[in-house]
Structure 1
Amino acid sequence: MLTMVTSESDGAVPTSRKYRFTSNVIATIILVVDLLCLIAGALATPLVYEALLGPQYFFERHLNVAVIVSVNFFLIRLSRNSYAHPMGRGGDSDQAVAFEFLLAVLLVYATIWQIGQAKPFSTGLALVYLTLTPALLFVSRFLVRKLVWHLVQAGYIGQRIVIYGAEQASCDRVLRLIDLERLPYVSVVGVADDRSTRIMSAAPWSVPFLGGLDALVTRIAKGDVDMVIVALPMVSQARLDQITERLQQVSVDICLMPREALDLSQQYTMRFIGSVPLFALWQRPIRDFHRIIKAVEDRVLAFVGLILLSPLLLLTALAIKLTSPGPVLFRQERFGFNNVRIKVLKFRSMYVERQDESGAARTVKRDDRVTPVGRIIRRLSIDELPQLFNVLTGEMSIVGPRPHATEMKVGDTYYFDAVRGYAARHRVKPGITGLAQVRGLRGEIATIERAKRRVEYDRYYIENWSFLLDLRIILETVWRIIWDRNAY
């Protein structure tokens, strides 16, 4: 998580180790750990096989294949740039390591089978290898995160950052983007700026104001700043040259946060049509094979969920029917994929004469419109389960940004007007649960600030989607349902 460092006036200036590494070494650590996991998996497989099934006679052949698999594994990871963002993207970006290993195995097996050399290999030995090595790689990610955390706490690894540009909105945006990455080695030392008109009266998240360029250069000279991020969306070239020329007098990394990352998306890339370069600000998310994987995931989980939860669905319907007059289900018009309006199904949790189909009236704590049974099913999110039928029809996903009612407001302002870039969350299908909900933003959204945070999490999910991220959100949702107190 993002670490804030107290100001120099507080007398807590961080000390600097003589030998101290930046975050660049983490990629090397992960690569070495991957190599150790592959070696351990290859050597341990015959031992596990012998312990379970008895002696085997394919050790040398097994090691030869393991070496080829390892080479393919690293080629796949390097081609996918898997070591470029160590521990980034919320810690979820590298959980696909086990799948990349299985893909390497599949390629090697296909080659062996094609040349007619598959029969001499032991099926049992292969199964042990295919179980043990991916498990080691997967578990290693959590161990590496723990190791890095301890190295950060001990002061051996760290990325100490100063944001240059004290304009409230830009500074707040940079801090949020960094915090979303949940990087344990990043600490924000403070904010600097020469222009008094941009100095914040109250710095967000208690980040101290360090002063102007001269004060910043003095601070860097003490050795407790590794990087300066220039976050001035409308900075002129002359002003940027002046800032960088002054900072070049001391040893520090100087980076520019582009306006596109502050105002639009942090996932912009360079693309080419033939040899024509393009600056891609937005891209269609969850596309090509990812779209197929997402569709299969949704249909399978929805179908299995309806079967397993059918007793609960029937009991809930019966309880609603017996305790208050009216239909069991409630249909509400909400925004779906590409802003197309869809009818979302829910178990009815309010008295019929008091419910609001438009969604303009926000549900509050101890809302007198909610029935006694409704309070229970809303608290446990059982009222959302009929949306599994929306998933089966292709209108929704299991995981995605929660669909909002068409007239839903934040305070007295419609969501569209209250949060800039709000409509970008509709680039994917809405979900029964989402990243914002498992990050503490479930329940009432009464303030603009809370609404902005929810939309930021939704957009982060869209731009960093993976199958394993979906599984993680589903598991965290179950945990949140048990312990969360923000639903009513």
Structure 2
Amino acid sequence: MLNVSEGQAPPTELRSRKYRFTSNVIATIILGVDLLCLVLGSLLAPLAYELILGPRYFIEQHVNVAVLVGVNFFLIRLSRNSYAHPMGRGGDSDQAVAFEFLLAALLVFATIWQLGQAKPFSSGLALCYLGLTAALLFVSRFVVRKLVWYLVQAGHIGQRIAIYGADLASSERVLRLLELERLPYVTVVGIADDRTTRIEREAPWTVPFIGSLDALVYRIAQGDVDMVIIALPMISQARLDQITEALQRVSVDICLMPREALDLSQQYSMRFIGSLPLFALWQRPMRDFNRILKAIEDRAVAILGLILFSPLMLLTAIAIKLTSRGPVLFRQERFGFNNVKISVLKFRSMYVDRQDESGAERTVRGDSRVTPVGRIIRRLSIDELPQLFNVVTGEMSIVGPRAHATRMKVGDDYYFEAVRGYAARHRVKPGITGLAQVRGLRGEIATVERAKRRVEYDMYYIENWSLMLDLRIILETVWRLIWDRDVY
């Protein structure tokens, strides 16, 4: 809580003038690390192979192939703009680097085989090269994140951002979007606005209020701000010109957060139909090959889960049957892909004469409707295991936005009425677990604010999906099952 006062005096103390790099240098670091991994993989693979089988290969041909694989690798990464968003999207966006390397190698090896030149090459050495280099690239992402974190803490890398526009909703939206990215080098130094008379004396800011535009210019002149984000969704051109002219007097990056990023989607982009330019606000997620990868992942994990958990599921079914009357499974109508209603399976955790199939009545702590066995299986999420059958049939995914009951409420309103843009979360299949659940929003959602945050995480997941993000969520789900105390 900050006491905001009009005409707040600007800071008078000058800060340390240690030279600081912006986030642009991180892309260069990542590119250099990729090159180093390719070189190390090429050097270590022959050594590893010699230790196993001895020097049974022609080194010159393998060096040439390694160079071709490296060129293809960088071409693929540049074509996918893999260096455009360094460490963005929570650090998950670049975990596909090992897959991109294997794809580059596959293209080169397929070409060599098609030309009939594969005979002189050692398959064992090729496997050593592929395995070592892919492992190096994969591990390098975690090393780079630690390195960047160290450089940030030492003050060598940093992006200090100020938000201009003290509209509470817009400012909080920008702060939440930055929080979702989880960028270690970003620091929000404060919020500025000339409309100080419209700002409450004790506005609930989570960051300091800098003051007017002049105060912001002064802070920039002292070297305290690297970027200004103008977050005024309904700003006029005249007002925008006035703000930018004032900020042009000092050295700072000036960015405008479009209304579409504040109110709709942050993944908007320019697209073309022929030569006709279009402003794309929404994109179909998980399209083309990503859709196939997601389907393979879901079926494989679901079948494996059914095999591993079948004894536990059998014991749970017996415990439910012996301790309370009624069926073992509970079916509930929920929203699925494209807002089509699906029947979701769960182990029954409530007394059969007290359960609510509509989902309108929330489950609260100490709920008398929950059976003794139900409390245990709900706490450990064992009641969700039958949804693996929903995944096998293609109605659900392992990871995705949680499937909500059609009549689920937040406060006095239905979920889809209380949260703007709620229906957009159904552009993908619902999941047994999701990003919101591993970010502290598992269990009861009693307030509209928590409901909005859950939907924001769902939208972030949809627009930034990757296999590595799914794997990360699955591992974090296991961890949460052990330590989470907010489920009942």
Supply the distance in 2 between the matched residues of 1:127 and 1:202 (Cα, whole angstroms).
Answer: 63
1:150 aligned partner: 150
What's 1:88 paired with?
Answer: 88
Give the 5 Å matches for 1:408-427.
Answer: 408-427=408-427
- Structure 1 residues 378 and 237: alpha-carbon distance in aligned structure 2, compared to 1, 3 A threshold: same
Tell me, yes or no, if structure 1 residue 468 matches structure 2 residue 479.
Answer: no
Q: Which moved more, 1:15-24 or 1:216-225?
A: 15-24
Residue type at the aligned position of 1:281: L
Residues 1:289 and 1:85: Cα distance change in structure 2 (over 3 Å): same
Distance 1:113 1:349, change over 3 A: same
CA distance in 2, matches of 1:276, 1:226: 36
SS at match of 1:283: coil
In structure 2, what is the equivalent of residue 3 of structure 1? none
Is 2:486 aligned against 1:486? yes
For 2:13 and 2:441, how far apart are their aligned partners in 1? 34
Could you tell me how far apart the structure 2 residues matched to 1:200 and 1:301 are? 52
| Contact in 1 for aligned 2:285/2:428 (Cα 8 Å) | yes
3-state SS in 2 of match to 1:105: helix
Question: 2:24 is matched with which residue?
Answer: 24
Alpha-carbon distance between aligned partners in 2 of 1:99 and 1:210, rounded to the nearest angstrom: 45
Separation in 1 of the partners of 2:10 and 2:349?
Answer: 52
Alignment of 1:38-77 (within 5 A): 38-77=38-77
Q: What SS does the corresponding residue of 2:219 show, helix, strand or coil?
A: helix
The secondary structure found in structure 2 opposite 1:354 is: coil
Distance change >3 Å, CA 15–CA 357, structure 1 → 2 = same
Task: Tell me the alpha carbon deviations over residues 223-247 of structure 1, each in whole angstroms, 9 at most, x when there is no partner.
Answer: 0100000000000000000000000
Question: CA 1:109–1:230 in 2, change beyond 3 Å: closer, same or farther?
Answer: same
- The match for 1:233 is 233
Tell me what 1:215 maps to.
Answer: 215
Task: Indicate the larger mover: 413-422 or 194-203.
Answer: 194-203
Partner SS for 1:246: helix
d(CA) in 1 for partners of 2:13, 2:326: 65
Amino acid at match of 1:343: S
Deviation for aligned residue 1:203: 4.8
Deviations 1:267-303 (A, max 9, x none): 0010111111000001111111111111121112111
* Superposition deviation, residue 29 in structure 1: 0.3
Question: Does the 8 Å CA contact 1:168/1:200 hold for their aligned counterparts?
Answer: no
2:328 corresponds to 1:354: no
Question: Shift of the alpha carbon at 1:16?
Answer: 4.2
* Corresponding residue number in structure 1 for 2:449: 449
The alignment status of 1:345 with 2:351, answered yes or no, reads: no
Residue 19 of structure 1: how far off its partner (Å)? 2.0
Mark the CA change 1:254 to 1:357 in structure 2 (over 3 Å): closer, same or farther. same
Q: Is the 8 A contact 2:82 2:94 kept in 1?
A: yes
Following superposition, the deviation at residue 53 of structure 1 comes to 2.2
Segment drifting more, 52-61 vs 156-165: 52-61
1:448 shift after superposition = 1.1
CA distance in 2: counterparts of 1:108 and 1:466, whole angstroms: 25
* Structure 1 unaligned residues grouped into runs of 5+: 1-6
1:389-437 Cα offsets, whole Å, 9 max, x none, are: 1111111111110011111111222111211111110111100000100
Query: What is the rounded CA distance, in whole Å, between the counterparts of 1:149 and 1:196 in structure 2?
Result: 36
State whether residues 57 and 121 of structure 2, in contact with CA within 8 Å, keep that contact through their aligned partners in structure 1. no
Corresponding residue number in structure 2 for 1:111: 111
Write the distance in 2 (CA, Å) between the matches of 1:293 and 1:9: 56
Q: How large is the Cα RMSD of the aligned pairs?
A: 1.9
Give, as a single letter, the amino acid of the residue that structure 1 aligns with 2:72.
N
Within 5 Å, give how 1:376-395 maps onto structure 2: 376-395=376-395
Whole-Å separation in 2 of the counterparts to 1:235 and 1:226: 22
Structure 1 residue 366: deviation in Å? 1.2
Counterpart position of 2:367: 367
TM-score (norm 2): 0.96
Q: Aligned in 2, Cα 1:14/1:427: closer, same or farther, shift over 3 Å?
A: farther
CA distance in 2 between counterparts of 1:183 and 1:87 reads: 7
Q: Is the 8 A contact 1:165 1:198 kept in 2?
A: no
CA displacement at 1:9 relative to structure 2: 8.3
> What is the CA–CA distance in structure 2 between the aligned matches of 1:117 and 1:433, rounded to whole Å?
48
- Calculate the TM-score normalised by the size of structure 1: 0.96
One-letter code aligned to 2:216: L
Instruction: Name the counterpart of 1:319.
Output: 319
In the alignment, is the contact (CA less than 8 A) between 1:167 and 1:198 conserved in 2? no
Give distance in 2, aligned partners of 1:274 and 1:44. 47
Q: Is the 8 A contact 1:434 1:458 kept in 2?
A: yes
Gap runs ≥5 in structure 2: none
Which residue identity does 1:192 align to in structure 2? Answer: A
Q: Residue type matched to 1:40 in 2?
A: L
Aligned pairs, number: 484
1:193–1:199 Cα contact (<8 Å) kept: no
Question: What secondary structure is seen at the aligned counterpart in 2 of 1:189?
Answer: strand
Contact 2:330 2:348 in 1 (8 A): yes
* CA 164–289 in structure 1, closer or farther in 2 if over 3 Å, else same: same
8 Å Cα contact 1:159-1:187 kept in structure 2: yes
